[in-house]
Chain A
Amino acid sequence: MSLLKVTDLKVSYGGIEALKGISFEVPKGQIVTLIGANGAGKSTTLRAIMGLVPLKSGGITFDGREITSLDTSRVVAEGIVLVPEGRRVFPNLTVLENLRVGAYLRRDTEEIENSLRYVYERFPRLEERSWQMAGTLSGGEQQMLAVGRALMARPKLLMMDEPSLGLAPLVVRDIFGIIKRLLEEGMTILLIEQNANAALRAADYGYVMETGRITLEGTGEELLKNQRVRDAYLGQARKKR
């Protein structure tokens, strides 16, 4: 069953069509990835789902409910959380406050404490630094915090925009380790990556985006083997000779 279903989504920015009608699905408990070059419309897709950019047309349903053009805070309340590109932790808030602000819409005070313990268990580094201003964390720690902050909302669907961008390879491995563990716990994930190789390896299903359209789709494995994908996104064309 699809948790998220996007149908013929169109978005225009200042006269330019950023999304020219894309459709895709994210089944429950699975990880789906959107790959593509810069400017293909991946981020715009996530922003449109979150209600951050106005839609021209198209529909979005989540968990069987229509969420097209809902307010961002309503979308979050429905259970979709986005870990934004570039982490975007609040540098002027402590680590603990960043996590608490992630649970902003929740009213179940006791359960919030449980979530906090859950996040600290997964990211012990965050607990050690809970009183530090988030701006003083390293890039990798900030990414952990951004993920932890998202988990504090107890999302049904976690969307991640380039979580490995600008991080050291070792940290990138950590991030994908976390993604794997979240999936084992039953999370549903929609992942955007420039690091197509790692993303497709992790993904159950993938979509390739080019200039506002989905041009190819398939399981992670299929896409990894696809010659067009390999040439365009996996940087293996040069190795030919």
Chain B
Amino acid sequence: MNGFERLFPYLLAGVSVGGQYALIAIGYTMVYGILRLINFAHGDIFTVAGFFMVYMSATMPLVVSIPLTIILTVLLGFTVERVAYKPLREAPRMSIMISAIGVSYLLQNLMWYVTGGLAKQYPVLPWLSNSVTILSATTKIVTIVTPLLTVALVLLLLQLINHTKTGMAMRAVSRDFETAKLMGIKIDRVISISFIIGSFLAAAGSLLYFTNYPTVTPTVGAMPGLKAFVAAVFGGIGSIPGAVVGAFLIGISENLIKAFGYSTFSDAFTFALLIVILLVRPTGLFGEKTIDKV
């Protein structure tokens, strides 16, 4: 068995995990781009999406429960913004950040309360959970589907942002709230849209992520959430292509580290990376030079 054959399964896993991180990371980066807020609740929304799926699929067929999970997650993201962030639009940035941390704990505790702290069995998604063998690697179909779906969704999103009127409004708002208002743009609507898109992608990421695991617990989303956040910072927070590239790089690096037998350090690598970026290049790979609004 040559080197490539040995590494290939890890690469495949890395690309797949990277795709999942990317879908979460976009939510962080979009909200940051517009509100300059790190939405700490985003990782929990991702986890709640997992539980939505658990409970929906228990009583409904997958063709209903999957779309319903996505809709409920989007609704949750939208509601969180309206209830916890919108009233603080004029408040100092620290207040809204603290509100985000509050929402994060609220969601986590609600999950504990509802599940009683027990791990819940995640439904087996047919087809996606089937095994395939590519070259030397045997893996689930979801591993192959994840990066492809991620790339497709990202291209769609970039199309929306760069070539539609709504996207133009989003870019305008991300740069200058007040002038955007002077154009007649309804800021609150644009902000809601960014939360809706972020939650939608988190729901998609959640479906792909949890399919790889037998169960969901209230804290299980914390790690992928954090790593997606690191990916967003790595890529340059505020930049969507940056978040995606960052996510894939982190996913692949983690798995290559595992391939070389240092599994213990794969998480440490990601967070060490965060420290290094913040020290060496705080704006990340594709970040704007000026973070603060002019």
Q: Is the CB of A90 within 8 A of B179?
A: yes
B113 CB, min distance to chain A CBs, angstroms: 39
CA distance A92 to B176 in the complex (A): 10
A150 CB, min distance to chain B CBs, angstroms: 9
Q: Does A105 lie at the interface of the complex (its beta carbon under 8 Å from any beta carbon of B)?
A: yes
B119 CB, min distance to chain A CBs, angstroms: 45
Within 8 A of A (CB), among B160-205: 165, 168-169, 171-172, 174-176, 178-186
B181 contact from A52, A92, A149, A153, Cβ within 8 A: A52
In the bound complex, residues from chain B placing their C-beta under 8 Å from that of A198 are none
Interface flags for B147-166 (1: CB within 8 Å of A; 0: not) read 00000000000000000010
Q: Is the CB of B175 within 8 A of A76?
A: no
B79 CB, min distance to chain A CBs, angstroms: 22
In the bound complex, residues from chain B placing their C-beta under 8 Å from that of A90 are 171-172, 175-176, 179-180
B166 CB, min distance to chain A CBs, angstroms: 10
In the bound complex, residues from chain A placing their C-beta under 8 Å from that of B175 are 90-93
Within 8 A of B (CB), among A71-122: 71-73, 76-77, 81-82, 84, 88, 90-93, 97, 100-102, 104-105
Chain A interface residue count, CB cutoff 8 Å, equals 23
Residue pairs across A and B with CB atoms within 8 Å: the count is: 61
Known contacts A90-B171, A93-B168, A93-B171; A104/B179 CB under 8 A? no
Q: Is the CB of B185 within 8 A of A104?
A: yes
Q: Is the CB of A104 within 8 A of B169?
A: yes
Residue of B nearest to A149 (CB): B183
Q: Is the CB of A88 within 8 A of B179?
A: yes
In the bound complex, residues from chain B placing their C-beta under 8 Å from that of A104 are 165, 169, 183-185
In the bound complex, residues from chain A placing their C-beta under 8 Å from that of B169 are 101, 104
B86 CB, min distance to chain A CBs, angstroms: 15
Known contacts A84-B179, A90-B179; A72/B171 CB under 8 A? no
Q: Which 7 A-B pairs have the closest CB atoms?
A: A76-B184, A105-B184, A88-B179, A73-B184, A72-B181, A104-B183, A104-B184
> Would you mind naming 17 contact pairs between A and B with Cβ atoms under 8 Å apart?
A50-B181, A52-B182, A73-B181, A73-B186, A76-B183, A84-B182, A88-B178, A88-B179, A92-B171, A97-B168, A100-B168, A101-B169, A101-B172, A101-B183, A101-B185, A153-B183, A153-B184
Q: List A residues at the B interface (Cβ < 8 Å).
A: 50, 52, 71-73, 76-77, 81-82, 84, 88, 90-93, 97, 100-102, 104-105, 149, 153
